[in-house]
Chains A and B, each alone.
Chain A
């Protein structure tokens, strides 16, 4: 138990250590982010001008689909699991994750799942080209044969997520150090606990829906075929029953991260800790009863539309509580603006903008005009890129000194922030306009009416991409030659993870930490 890491590559292959596994998750996620991002760059290049430039329409659809799939399942989700692996045991004073071997299995399934998915590019028929939402029957009867591999890829990736989530629940409920009561847990732990429940509840439903597809494709069933009494819309209901909680899976841990960072740099306790917990739980609960807001145009009965519209609007309330709590945490603090704080503040502002457009989308009669246009694309990139991605970036800056024992270069961090901030807004803000002006999503070519906005978006995308390369450089430089970091790292930091040395020893908390170190902050 007391030994350090094994030597050589087998350290990573066979490890059971939560820090090793967290590290692998994070690097894997970053690699996927670059891959998904380069697909986005292909999309942006093609859309730089009207007319077909560099790719065939079918390949364009493959790019869009794989961009969405890889970003969602390959970049954002694994990054959060990686952070959970690193931080949750340290935050609750546990020696490791509850089920360490299964933990490593959860990770190692992922590279294979994505190898399976990406390998379809090189097969006859090409990669999935039916959108990340893979609506039937485009993804069944009319899909390339490679869809079979897509389905199995989703299956095993889902298994990985479920195991990861079970592990997190078991860790949080069972491995808290004595004295670490539920209401003393850092919010990151809380948000992850709730996220893990969401995962366990909806990943099996995703597995179910791809299984139905598999059956329709290979065994002649009629789930999504009206000729046999099935319904293509059934697919959408099942998919979005998974899909909507899924988008909150991608944002709740982000809320937790920001709730850790803002108090640190405002040097003031988090405002409304318990309301934050309740708000998170309410969001999670509501997320199960709003799914059909993605389907306002499929022709649901009036009553259904109204119910889903009201439920969706309700989510603004608990989310608002969170936003107001963050703002009030900053109020009358003594703020400094290190890189993690900058990313967190940008998170609050830009996520709120994304939330506003979400609320507009929730208004069913108006969604008839927004649906499947770039307005939706703008909405979800505002909640995902400055939401999920910025929070992950902030987390990396915030905890990297604890992980590596080295401090990143603050001025480079600031440059990264401003590049990313500007690049992101230049890329995604104009999409609101092109969308409102009527540009549909998922098209490789368009009327010159929208040319100006698209050109700006494309330029922004490359700027944002460049910022990510800088990020990679900063992280590597820190690990290789950063200055030594202190144990506390930040002046205002609170919580168990800051009581251990930097870098955190390979095994932390083999004996429980003293109770005095635990208080909610």
Chain B
């Protein structure tokens, strides 16, 4: 068979990469200065630079993505190029998986290796006043050693599975979170099938519902954090607080990003009528991302909450 040769679209010169690099630099340089200013309690322009840089960076990215969308609509993208985008998104998500793997790995290590080692006879008796491992870690080694004088203290309360107690379970936010997020994965899938059947109306509805659910999830998560801080579970509450907030926090950031991506796709569809069953990469990529975020949550739910 002889493949018909389609020209691969190599874009002409572009200002985006350089500008994206400059603004990214401004963002991190600003953030670095800001953090150091907070730490040393000094005054400076870190925050200004950070915000300024971040806005510009987002602006460049917005322009960049608009251009890509525009090129596609003008029909400049061959099937092959579209496949490149698919590969790109796929491997990007894989890299995100590995990022979370580092944090899950840390959680696993702390629970299975670090805490047991801290409670070994010699270590515990000589260094940590007879510390005994527990999870969630409510009493840190520092507390075991120095009691009330400890500087690193455990949480006042943990967020783990309350047991098979219906009354408690209903009030247990993570369960609601899980329900909402799992349901949103279903709705985004329904939207996808609708799109494949060229039912744009149904597509718009279900995509819209998914976005709303994403926002609702974030709302619940915020509630959970507020509750946590009220009962004395903070990011510096020993290693339980550390892993709890870092894992759920990074997940929350990803949900925010995913929701935003889906929102953009929804706006594109509703206001500009983008997407057909043949051409819906933007939506599909966002939905993969959404499924990925969902799977991470499942991991979190199991390892942070249920087995907590």
Contacts and interface: CB of A to CB of B under 8 A. Distances in A.
Contacts of A215: 235, 242, 246
B21 to A, nearest CB: 4
Contact of A1 (B10, B117, B118): B10
A229 B40 CA distance: 26
A473 interface: no
B222 interface: no
A170 B20 CA distance: 22
Nearest to A219: B235
Contact of B102 (A102, A104, A208): A208
Contact of A108 (B8, B21, B92, B241): B21
Interface of A: 1, 6, 10-11, 13-17, 94-96, 98-102, 104-105, 107-109, 111-112, 115-116, 145, 148-149, 151-153, 155-156, 162, 165-167, 169-171, 173-175, 178, 200-205, 207-209, 212, 214-215, 217-223, 225-231, 233-234, 237-238, 241, 507, 510-512
B141 A228 contact: yes
A152 B21 contact: no
A225 B152 contact: yes
B210 to A, nearest CB: 26
Contact of A149 (B12, B32, B88, B151): B32
A409 B5 CA distance: 41
Query: Is the contact region of chain A dominated by helix, strand, or loop, or is it mixed?
Result: helix
B87 A227 contact: no
A21 B24 CA distance: 19
A125 to B, nearest CB: 9
A246 to B, nearest CB: 13
A156 B113 CA distance: 31
Interface string B1-22: 0010101101111111110111
Greatest chain A CB density within 10 A among B85, B99, B110 is at B99
Nearest to A511: B5
B99 A104 contact: no
A35 to B, nearest CB: 19
B21 A203 contact: no
Interface in B105-127: 105-106, 109-110, 113-115, 117-118, 127
A438 B62 CA distance: 57
Nearest to A215: B246
B212 interface: no
Contacts of B246: 212, 215, 221
B24 A156 contact: yes
A205 B101 CA distance: 8
Interface string B240-258: 1110011000000000000
A101 B241 contact: no
23 contacts: A14-B13, A14-B15, A16-B10, A17-B10, A99-B84, A104-B17, A109-B21, A112-B21, A149-B29, A152-B29, A166-B91, A171-B84, A174-B80, A175-B84, A201-B95, A207-B99, A208-B98, A209-B102, A214-B35, A221-B239, A222-B140, A228-B238, A229-B137
A6 B13 contact: yes
Given A175-B80, A229-B238, 7 more contacts: A6-B13, A10-B13, A107-B17, A219-B236, A221-B245, A221-B246, A234-B106
B95 A221 contact: no
Contact of B98 (A14, A15, A98, A205): A205
A31 to B, nearest CB: 17
Closest 8 CB pairs of A and B: A208-B102, A220-B236, A229-B239, A105-B17, A231-B114, A227-B142, A204-B99, A152-B28
B25 interface: yes
A145 B113 CA distance: 31
Nearest to B106: A234
A166 B92 contact: yes
A122 to B, nearest CB: 13
Contact of A230 (B13, B128, B239): B239
Nearest to A238: B102
B38 interface: yes
A201 B98 contact: yes
Interface in B9-60: 10-18, 20-22, 24-25, 28-29, 31-32, 35-36, 38-40
B13 A15 contact: yes
Contacts of B141: 226-229
Which residue among B7, B10, B99, B240 has the maximum number of chain A CB atoms within 10 Å of its CB?
B10
Nearest to B101: A205
Nearest to B64: A101
A81 to B, nearest CB: 15
Nearest to B104: A208
A162 B95 contact: yes
Contacts of A230: 110, 114, 239, 242
A229 B20 CA distance: 40
Given A112-B24, A149-B32, A227 B17 contact: no
B216 interface: no
Nearest to A232: B114
Given A200-B91, A204-B95, A220-B236, A227 B140 contact: yes
B33 to A, nearest CB: 8
Contacts of A152: 28-29, 31-32
Contact of A208 (B20, B64, B99): B99
Given A112-B24, A162-B95, A226 B118 contact: yes
Given A148-B36, A174-B80, A208-B102, A229 B18 contact: no
Interface in B59-103: 64, 80-81, 83-85, 87-88, 91-92, 94-99, 101-103
A170 B142 contact: no
